[in-house]
Chain A
């Protein structure tokens, strides 16, 4: 894996002097997200708009925070998700990236 990443890094570095005349290649970074129940729903929904880095770099948060985030994605940003799946995503996020405050 490390060699693979290094290869990407070198490729990208070699492009760095180029102007924006060719297509820009933004690298993919495999953020290590925790596996667990309902991960499939998280993967299917959250990755449409953002990386896992966006999730894990929020820090541990309360259940209300994660529930609020899921509702924001649904109501403000237009995520197409059923109410049932929204609950599953919230449960996953709180279980793996929660701070112990389940209110």
Chain B
């Protein structure tokens, strides 16, 4: 099914390329993929791109609600060997490197020796929506659902590091988890953060929506960096290592990078090496959770469009909806925002479909800095297919 979509898309690309400049760099991501018949541990059946390492996407209807249930939360691992058993008697979070005193904490110590803090924050893969790009960008062809929003509880990373004593010359924090490669030579999925990026919202979380973290979402502890793409939210966190200098790491220097220019874009097919930068903070985005493309609605019935909107934490100001193909836009009703600026905001918009046939619904989020979601066709291409945030579009049939 997914391959058929790819072929359709690749034919469309070939056709457009033949005409020349009419080629658009992005359309809508693939949607409506079937969930797998096989469920993963602690998960309902999800769209499954790979079992090893596990890559699971949430179906669109999950985004009709502000909090994403743990058992439908997307999953993305980089390494094939994930521990299948965590013994809490053995588990330690180690703090080492440029610290006054190397320390290690049990899960219980993390829970009880540090002030617990909560933050509701969106976790989104940098490649979410990658399947929208033409020509097809490198990487897993995610649809819309490599994103979720949860209430995380944990200890402040700063508190944990300060317990060990941050040495004056320490500038970088390295994060490593318990997942491993199949080859000894494969670089570990280690991420680094400059110590200046460390604020009180960055936590080592041991709770997700009031429960312990699902195994596939990083049990027992994962890093939470609100506002940032999920590439640095290391799962099954085992080591915090402070260093004076930036360590050269594959997953920092090669993966999860975009062109370092104003449009964050490049010419497809050009083999010129462009200067790149990490993807870092998320751009403004909305997604429709209901209805979906296979929904049929009755003429003149009461149709309430529901969805979510978010950005990097500047805050959502408005979500607008268009039911006339983008000619006119009307404001949707936003929730009260009580989950904070890093959370999904829920929106709804009601109308009565008044014509038989196809009815397109488009949603556009605007944040408090005035940044707007662009039309898909306005989005420029990058080779990794990162940071797609085109105006979301769903087409229903009015019967």
Contact = CB atoms under 8 A, between A and B. Distances in A.
B11 to A, nearest CB: 10
Interface in A32-81: 48-51, 53-54, 56-61, 64-65, 69, 76-80
A29 B136 contact: no
A10 to B, nearest CB: 9
Main DSSP-derived SS at the B contact region: loop
A2 B43 CA distance: 20
Contacts of A12: 38-41
Given A50-B50, A51-B52, A26 B40 contact: yes
A82 interface: no
B179 to A, nearest CB: 12
A48 B84 CA distance: 18
Interface in B1-31: 2-3, 6-7, 9-10, 13-14
B41 A24 contact: yes
A97 to B, nearest CB: 9
A20 B86 contact: yes
B181 A25 contact: no
Contact of A78 (B37, B135, B183, B212): B183
Contact of B51 (A2, A49, A51, A100): A51
B219 to A, nearest CB: 5
Interface in A75-92: 76-80
Given A19-B212, A77-B186, A57 B86 contact: no
B42 interface: yes
B349 interface: no
A78 B85 contact: no
A99 B182 contact: no
Contacts of A56: 2-3
Contact of B139 (A22, A28, A48, A58): A58
Nearest to A77: B186
Interface centre among A8, A25, A26, A65 (most CB of B within 10 A): A26
Contact of B39 (A9, A24, A59): A9
Contacts of B139: 58
A26 B220 contact: no
A60 B7 contact: yes
Given A23-B84, A57-B50, A57-B141, 14 more contacts: A12-B38, A16-B43, A20-B215, A24-B41, A27-B39, A27-B51, A48-B182, A49-B183, A51-B50, A57-B55, A61-B138, A65-B138, A77-B183, A78-B186
